[in-house]
Structure 1
Amino acid sequence: MTTPPTNPATPPPGCPAHGLGPEGPRRLYGPEAEADPRGLYERLRAEHGTVAPVLVHGDLPAWLVLGHRENLDVARTPSRFSRDSRRWRDMREGKVSADHPLTPVAAWQPVCNFVDGAEHERLRRAVTESMARFDRRGIRRYVTRFAGQLIDQFAGAGHADLVSQFAEPLPMLTMTQLVGMPEEYGPRLVEAARDMIKGTETAVASNEYVTSALRQLLERKKAEPGQDFASWLIEHPSQLTDDEIVEHLRLVLIAAFETTANLIANTLRMVLTDRRFRANLSGGHMTLPDALEQVLWDAPPLTTILGRWATGDTVLGGQRIKAGDMLLLGLAAGNVDPEIRPDLTDPVHGNRSHLAFSGGPHECPGQDIGRAIADTGIDTLLTRLPALQLAVPEAELRWVSSLMSHHLVALPVRFAARVPAGGGGKGAALAARRLAEPLPAAAAAPAPPAEEPEPRRPSWWSRILRAR
């Protein structure tokens, strides 16, 4: 481990951010970070230990937490490391412009993951207590039905892309049911969510479509409440405002979509490419829930979480943190911390101490629902199509990386074509038609990707912010 850097508030010449000499800290964005984020994490660990100085978009200074113990320390002590971004010194000093790529994900919002203390307890209680009312068996019935419908759409072809045709639509189809939306909304919301996350030209319009659909849902549930998440938020004693309800519905939908889709895709990739993993699963040495936990250790759906902000001067991992500094929770890096996993080949069956869902008071409240969707969906797929094989060499799989995630672009597979089970009935036909239909003008479906990757566009969050 190197000597801790000097005080970030008074850097010597050579590095305006952290005082590390002429080269300065490494960027968490750009070609190096996007090409090999995990390799970058290990280089940072070798250079700085469990907490590393880094630069985020616009070369703004931050600290990336790499150690497992240090990540938990940050997540569990909001008195030292707040979730309230209004403490971010660079934002207070006007260094984070309205169109900065991080503004939409860092600017304060009236949702539970941007507040601490009593207000956080009020908002989070509404979310967690409403989620607790779900019938877990009912969730699995929804997942089984939608998974069957999706499989029916490609079972006869003998080939499929398990990212776009299975891992991405399944969580959204399920969540639309859980929040109380009519079934026909599901496929269109899948397309809108895909569009938003990819940051296309229609991302802002897609966001408007999602928000408009949720406001319509809110009004409908006020008049006709049901046994669903939206109705339970409306009637909860915490007395959420209309805006708070819509924002939390949107937060839950998009968070569930991105993280659960990544979890499904990462698990299926592991099954298809790791012979030992598949042998343990098929031989009964590992259950599917065990497999999910292994993937949550090795390939968490989110690689980092932005962010926490220091409430005062403190020390973490030997580094001197100043009040107002931003910290990033390094979930993927913390999960492979050699202090807790000296041998990464050792299985971690039954061990849920990974960082995939963060920790402390802001730990992901919907993690069990995400596990249920992934577990049931993958089980349904492998039962229906047990002889799945990767259709391309593993080396040809492509990934897209960003500050917070690292996910598969596609997972092409082949299998013996089968007659659709037909269990979806009219529902399968409806889903197929809806997925084939274009979105409304306000959220038109993006054009098919070109053969070569297109230049990176501004993030969808940036576009949404500018529209607002």
Structure 2
Amino acid sequence: MAPVLVLDDLPAWLVLGYRENVQVARNAALFSRDPRNWSALQEGKVRADHPLSPMTTWWPVVNFNDGEVHKRLSDAVKDGLRRFERLGIRRYVARCAGQLIDQFEHDRADLVADFATQLPILVVGHLVGVDEQHGPQLAHAVPDMLQGTETSLASDRYVTTVLQDLVKERKHRPGHDLTTWLLEHPSQLTDEEVLAHIRVTLVAACETTTTLIANTLRMVLTDQRFRGHLSGGQMTLPEAVEQMLWDEPPLNCIIGRWATETTQLGGHTIHKGDMLLLGLAAANWDPAVRPADDELSAPIHQNRAHLAFSAGAHECPGQDIGRAIAQAGIDTLLARVAGLELAVPEAELIRNGTLMSQHLVSLPVTFLPPQAKDTDAVRSSAPATALRTPGS
């Protein structure tokens, strides 16, 4: 546990230990997800335009509620997501990945802008029921509205309009998608609640799955131990993705939890109304669950005890879909594109860091042009044939 200050010198607790993170995440009665419990907010110390407002302003969605309200909303979301067949999702991911790959330049691409950023939105847009004609523009608008650019407001309006139209249409023309299933669920979600949840689903796909894909691809291209394991058959691609969820979870930190009563945690007194930040990345490296001398060859990638998706009642309900998108997308890329090589030294790769996450700005690569692909590389679907050691 560490006492910290967030913007405007507002006090909070950063939860670093694995056990402490689990204790907070699994006790919603004592550590609520409802930001209306925040004492600083109640005392008028949080300005309306505070940069953390998107994460600390209550909204009628599953991640800002606890108890019976949370259960009602969570049941609808989880039941809807369970109706998707994993094999069907992987096939659609492969299709979308193939379309993006076909748009690459002759022998180079940016695997962040041209692949990792767009793939999750295309797939999840399809799962929520958005017409494919909106796919390319959604793939631009969803990440843009989260970046605070000059066009963010216009992108936000576009996303909202598309989703509002979708909810209206599905009320009259049901489909095989999440929007329809939320509307039809016994939990009886309002139109506003349905809209809020499909929007959150799109944003979550953009924020977490994009980062997971980009990080895993960077490791495949730059880490010799990783490449050796993957190429040598000692680590499968799903295990490689799981290793990344241990090493570099898509979210460094979750904002937040709010104490409903004064209590003790990690040797500190947490007062009623205090804000807690769940340090997921730190928890994953806690020596209590992970030895300091851990190597990639250790079996840590073979278990899912990490906190990349948090834990407890608010554990991410779409994590298996996120894994499927990352695994099938990367698998398709490695099978389709031969001779992948990082186009710049690894030290020149740039990240944009925030309290919640770190994003690769770009991942420029070169590869063999289609006519130059080795025949064996084209025939083989093994990832090893698609990789080339930098400088070779």
Match of 2:147 among 189, 198, 212: 198
| Counterpart Cα distance in 2 of 1:420 and 1:387 | 10
**Cα distance change, pair 315–420 in 1 and its aligned pair in 2 (3 A):** farther
| Counterpart Cα distance in 2 of 1:416 and 1:386 | 6
Q: Specify the code of the residue in structure 2 equivalent to 1:321.
A: I
Aligned runs of 1:93-242 on 2, under 5 Å? 93-154=43-104, 157-242=106-191
Q: Specify the code of the residue in structure 2 equivalent to 1:91.
A: L
Structure 1 residue 52 displacement after superposition: 0.3
Q: Mind listing any 5+ residue stretches in structure 2 that lack a counterpart?
A: 374-392
Structure 1 residue 66 displacement after superposition: 0.4
Structure 1 window deviating more from structure 2 (389-398 vs 187-196): it is: 187-196
2:233 paired with 1:284: yes
TM-score, structure 1 normalization: 0.78
SS at match of 1:407: strand
2:24 paired with 1:74: yes
2:37 paired with 1:87: yes
Q: Mind listing any 5+ residue stretches in structure 1 that lack a counterpart?
A: 1-50, 422-468
Structure 1 residue 419 displacement after superposition: 5.4
Residue 407 of structure 1 corresponds to 359
Residue 385 of structure 2 corresponds to none
SS at match of 2:278: strand
Structure 1 residue 257 displacement after superposition: 1.4
| Counterpart Cα distance in 2 of 1:300 and 1:386 | 28
**Cα distance change, pair 75–420 in 1 and its aligned pair in 2 (3 A):** farther
SS at match of 2:277: strand
2:316 paired with 1:359: no
Match of 1:324 among 273, 294, 310: 273
Q: Specify the code of the residue in structure 2 equivalent to 1:177.
A: H
Structure 1 residue 193 displacement after superposition: 1.3
| Counterpart Cα distance in 1 of 2:157 and 2:7 | 26
Structure 1 residue 131 displacement after superposition: 0.5
TM-score, structure 2 normalization: 0.93
Residue 325 of structure 2 corresponds to 373
| Counterpart Cα distance in 2 of 1:234 and 1:364 | 21
| Counterpart Cα distance in 2 of 1:415 and 1:201 | 34
Structure 1 residue 289 displacement after superposition: 0.5
| Counterpart Cα distance in 1 of 2:372 and 2:28 | 51
- Conserved 8 A contact 1:153-1:420: no
SS at match of 2:320: helix
Match of 2:210 among 261, 284, 287: 261
Match of 1:271 among 220, 223, 228: 220
Q: Specify the code of the residue in structure 2 equivalent to 1:56.
A: V
- Conserved 8 A contact 2:352-2:358: yes
SS at match of 1:144: helix
SS at match of 2:103: helix
Structure 1 residue 420 displacement after superposition: 12
Match of 1:391 among 324, 328, 343: 343
- Conserved 8 A contact 2:342-2:364: yes
Residue 59 of structure 1 corresponds to 9
User: Deviations 1:317-345 (Å, cap 9, x if unpaired)?
Assistant: 11110000000000111111122112232
| Counterpart Cα distance in 2 of 1:333 and 1:99 | 29
User: Deviations 1:279-298 (Å, cap 9, x if unpaired)?
Assistant: 10111100000000000000
Structure 1 residue 97 displacement after superposition: 1.0
* Count of residue pairs brought into register by the alignment: 370
SS at match of 2:269: strand
| Counterpart Cα distance in 1 of 2:372 and 2:38 | 54
| Counterpart Cα distance in 1 of 2:371 and 2:86 | 30
Identity %: 61
User: Deviations 1:17-67 (Å, cap 9, x if unpaired)?
Assistant: xxxxxxxxxxxxxxxxxxxxxxxxxxxxxxxxxx00011111100000000
Q: Specify the code of the residue in structure 1 equivalent to 2:174.
A: P
SS at match of 2:132: coil
- Conserved 8 A contact 1:336-1:344: no
Residue 308 of structure 1 corresponds to 257
User: Deviations 1:236-272 (Å, cap 9, x if unpaired)?
Assistant: 0000001000000000011111100000000000111
- Conserved 8 A contact 1:151-1:381: yes
- Conserved 8 A contact 2:263-2:269: yes
Match of 2:295 among 340, 345, 358: 345
RMSD of the TM alignment (CA)?
Answer: 1.2
| Counterpart Cα distance in 2 of 1:190 and 1:169 | 5
| Counterpart Cα distance in 2 of 1:275 and 1:309 | 42
- Conserved 8 A contact 1:152-1:420: no
Q: Specify the code of the residue in structure 2 equivalent to 1:72.
A: V
